[in-house]
Amino acid sequence: MENLVIYIISDSLGETGEQVARASIGQFNINNYEMRKYPYVLDVNFLDEILNEAKNENSIVVYTLVDLELANYVAKFCENNKIPSIDLVSPLLKSISLRTNLKPLREPGTIRKLDEKYFKRVEAIEFAVKYDDGKDPRGLVKSDLVLIGISRTSKTPLSMYLANKNIKVANVPLVPEVPVPKELFEIPSKKIIGLTNTPEKLNEIRQERLKSLGLSSNANYATMERILEEIEYAEKIMKKIGCPIIDVSNKAIEETAGLIINIMKENGLRVYKGFLNS
């Protein structure tokens, strides 16, 4: 049997066409075949070169082209030259359009864009974990945003929530006995947001925290005197930096995150639109 050549033509990576072709060829006892993959085919001239090569061989054309002009060109060329061809995209797009009454975007590479979106989110989450709780002050310079505040002001939950919006967040705890990292004063104040809470709420939260750890609720960490000292210390630092301050006492994480994103926009900081509703 003459060697079979399967042409895989795509306006993206061509992985879908390749996987379908390999799954299909696996159903036959064929050894003399080859696959030629042509990714990122975005113009008719390039497409024409590929198809003219295919017409001179014992070929099959498999294509995943969302551009209607290119898809129609392949269909017509293959029909005129009696080349078996399979359009893996258009029939499904038509079916989805029929059921939803929506028109397809016909934009190449949308799957790849989704992948990029996913990996950017993962990168932001890994960043938040790496630079949580002041672990490494070097992360402050690399961050999109820095959250500062005393213990139990939702720094970590907010960092993770914002990371899921593709915002790289570092956070720094403010403790009277621990020097503030010098990097905090080396970055623009508009990149910093201070978080605070009411003494009563902090007292309640900290006592519950101690109980969950099996410690006495009378420990200095949860006393009103200690809490007031920490709040006063934190406020001095925040005023020195000149950053906005948000009271998180009666706010859900989502609400506080919304306020932070609005402040970032007002300060001209980059906010990734494609992730705000994800």
Predicted pLDDT at 274: 47
Residue 149 labeled ligand binder: yes
Note the pLDDT of residue 13: 83
* For range 37-43, the mean pLDDT: 91
Q: How confident is the model at residue 121 (pLDDT cuts 50, 70, 90)?
A: confident
User: 156 among the known binding-site residues?
Assistant: yes
Cα 152 from Cα 114, distance rounded (Å) = 35
Domains annotated for the chain, with CATH where assigned, are 4-108 (3.40.50), 114-275 (3.40.50)
Phi, psi (degrees; rounded to nearest 5) at 239:
-65, -35
* pLDDT exceeds 70 at position 110: no
User: Rounded mean pLDDT of 98-109?
Assistant: 82
> At residue 20, does pLDDT exceed 50?
yes
Tell me: is residue 151 an annotated ligand-binding position. yes
216-273 tens-digit pLDDT: 878 899 999 999 999 999 999 999 999 999 999 999 999 999 999 999 999 988 776 5
Minimum mean pLDDT range among 52-56, 104-108, 251-255: 104-108
Q: Greater confidence, 13 or 78?
A: 78
Q: Is 155 annotated as a binding residue?
A: yes
Q: Is the pLDDT of residue 109 over 80?
A: no
The reported pLDDT for the residue numbered 273 is: 52
Average of per-residue pLDDT values in the chain: 91
Does the pTM surpass 0.85? The reply is no
> Is 17 one of the annotated binding-site residues?
no
183-227 pLDDT, tens per residue? 999 999 999 999 999 999 999 999 988 988 888 878 899 999 999
d(CA 159, CA 127): 9
Q: How many Cβ atoms are within 10 Å of 249's Cβ, its own excluded? A: 15
Confidence class of residue 111 from pLDDT cuts 50, 70 and 90?
low
Q: Which residue has the higher pLDDT, 119 or 153?
A: 153
Mean pLDDT of 28-55: 93
DSSP assignments along 66-116, one per residue? --HHHHHHHHHHHHHTT--EEESSHHHHHHHHHHH-------TTHHHHHHH
3-state DSSP helix/strand/coil percent for the chain, to nearest 5? Answer: 50, 15, 35
Tokens 């005393």 found at: 150
